[in-house]
A and B are shown apart, each in its own frame.
Chain A
């Protein structure tokens, strides 16, 4: 008996039969040359099964073995299953006898198949032409295939019998066993036993060829990456399964539609592997057209949504910063004082090198009046824009610039009046205090994008009447009131008052000191009468600075040129008065290292270095005939300070020379310098000018010096 070994099994939902048997072929002469089928089943071949499953069974010999029940592949539309006919024929090859048919039938019974159908006997002439159209849903319908193992079929079973030793038959059995063993032993050379061989006649084999349609194979591939698994796992767990599956089904439907499209186009049985990520270049256009056709409306909504989404804004924000970084990279590196690879051989004289400038269209035309660093983030700079003179007043501006974007400020606060003073708070680094030309003090919160002030003093009772020339946040020990070290805002203004602002349901203030006009004697003022006389008796304050170690002592400079040393605990009297300037004192600065010394600059073209205990100045620096607007000690060295007057920037180094500045830099023509600020974490200074530009210069080749006392 022949053994046919077909190891593929095809499962069809509905059978597509091609109409074999009603075809008739005629040659030129009209003779009927219809090929006749090779196999004619015997008429009483009962129930030759044309089942849906073309079961090709693997059976070997007579012993029962387990069958491969089903190995099935899901049929898709492109495959024509005209396989039923030929298989059924080879099934019954010439050597199959009736008995085997019946046995195979019974064996086939044990294959579980969903919805199987048995067709009735085949007749030669009129084979049933059963053709069912595969409907689309049928193809896509999921078919469950069950694989089961058939029971072992025993053909001969002779189990051993065990008999107890003590039974009656035991002796007989033992005898018989003994005889048998003897027999086996004697068999070898015994005359009673003769070996003889026999030959069985084999039938003549015959080869038979057949043809079948090409077996269509299809591969399907998926890539399961570890993040894919992670995603799917998480998707099951979260409650947002609906939205996620919706989104994931869209790409899968897209990919399946694409695969359909490509199949229809190509019509070959090439393997198509649907890899989620690789898009065949030929089908990009197909994909796009398919998508456009199907999901057109959804897209329009989506594109708008994308542009408005927050994530997009954030990405734009980062992108801008990245662009800036690309443009400004060498300058920023210099700012951060990253080591330069090329070693410099010569010793160059100290110089200022311009790195970049903070400017934007908003700030053009405004005068930079003040600058302040953020206490927490040393890369964040606040710049106030406002005119100094009375006649030039226009709307002011306060901007926060970040190092990461030198072309556009992070925050822009527009103020009705020119901004004349700025300071960042230390305790709450997101608070920015702004003083304006009309006397208003406002506090902004820079964390939010809100452009209105958090607090505003325009409605408080004791607000300033004159321009606020300086604001500062000071940490103070308020041991007397029982509070811990707190921070208060102090401002000085042209109405002659130094006031302390408290943030309690809006800005409330108390006066720390009233600057009185003094001649040689001091007069006492009583009360807090707000009358005309008070104003004329008060000297407009221009600036102040608190002692770096002892926050009770501070210096105040006035428009008359006097510098008063005052204490927070006495608000009636000055502790000391330093008279030497002949014009308004614009700025006072304590030396951060040797805290006995302070510096003051004034409109009388001079900068004076004082010592705390002496009423006479120690040193006077006058190098130009220009009003000195601003001075600042360097945070790194006790000897270095920077001074800005209208025509130039001077860096003085007292250890080198007390007569001449170390470095002098000139601005662009037509522009005057107005403010200067040292950078804390690097050797750079920032210079603001009257055109709204803040330029960053790097101090190069300065001789490093320790912070010693003078």
Chain B
């Protein structure tokens, strides 16, 4: 489907280190990384996303978190959260 195509394109994109899709319980549905790394990313990012969402909503309960980007020295982690899943992409933006 189109979803598969887009997902493949993202995974094959230049600089993308890994792509993870986890469901609401933290179980990875799709991943291009090994299991331990995936579980680690999923767990940690889930907590961070919850905290970020809580922060946004505490300020204004009608607001909600749509996208989260964490830029680190080595790469950039992008998280698209939702009630049912988490889409995580780790990219190494080439300088």
Contacts and interface: CB of A to CB of B under 8 A. Distances in A.
B2 A315 contact: no
A316 B10 contact: yes
A327 interface: yes
A65 B51 CA distance: 50
A329 B84 CA distance: 31
A284 B2 CA distance: 34
Contacts of A322: 67, 69, 78
Interface in A324-348: 326-327, 329
B58 to A, nearest CB: 5
Contacts of A549: none
A225 B27 contact: no
B70 interface: no
Interface stretch (A119-127, A298-306, A650-658): A298-306
A302 B84 contact: yes
B29 A306 contact: yes
A319 B80 contact: yes
Nearest to A326: B93
B84 A309 contact: yes
Contacts of A302: 23-24, 84
A313 interface: yes
Contact of B3 (A288, A312, A323, A326): A312
Contacts of B80: 315, 318-319
Interface string A214-243: 000000000001110111000000000000
Contacts of B50: 277
B45 interface: no
Given A227-B61, A318-B67, A284 B43 contact: yes
Interface residues of B, number: 41
Interface string A404-415: 000110000000
Contact of B93 (A309, A319, A327): A327
Contacts of B61: 226-227, 229-231
Contacts of B6: 313, 316-317, 320
Contacts, number: 106
Contact of B57 (A225, A299, A316): A225
Contact of A308 (B1, B21, B26): B1
A38 interface: no
A204 interface: no
A358 to B, nearest CB: 15
A102 B84 CA distance: 63
Interface string A269-299: 0000000011100001000100110010001
A172 interface: no
A288 B82 CA distance: 20
A326 B15 contact: yes
A710 to B, nearest CB: 46
B54 A277 contact: yes
Interface in B1-25: 1-3, 6-7, 9-10, 13-16, 21, 23-25
A309 B82 CA distance: 11
Interface in A40-97: none
A158 interface: no
Contacts of A315: 80, 82, 87
A31 interface: no
Contacts of A291: 25
Given A277-B54, A309-B84, A313-B6, A323 B89 contact: yes
Interface in B22-79: 23-27, 29-30, 43, 47, 50-51, 54, 57-58, 61-62, 67, 69, 76, 78
A472 to B, nearest CB: 33
B3 A307 contact: yes
A319 B82 CA distance: 13
A312 B87 contact: yes
B15 A311 contact: no
Contact of A299 (B25, B43, B89): B25
A407 B80 CA distance: 21
B20 to A, nearest CB: 12
A227 B84 contact: no
Given A299-B23, A303-B29, A326 B85 contact: no
Contacts of A226: 57-58, 61
Given A318-B80, A323-B10, A323-B16, A303 B87 contact: no
A170 to B, nearest CB: 72
A299 B76 CA distance: 30
Contact of B15 (A308, A316, A327): A327
Nearest to B25: A291
A551 to B, nearest CB: 41
A309 to B, nearest CB: 7
Nearest to B92: A326
26 contacts: A226-B57, A226-B61, A227-B54, A227-B58, A227-B61, A229-B61, A230-B57, A230-B62, A231-B61, A277-B47, A278-B47, A291-B25, A292-B27, A295-B25, A302-B24, A306-B23, A307-B3, A307-B30, A316-B10, A319-B80, A323-B13, A323-B16, A326-B91, A326-B93, A329-B93, A407-B13
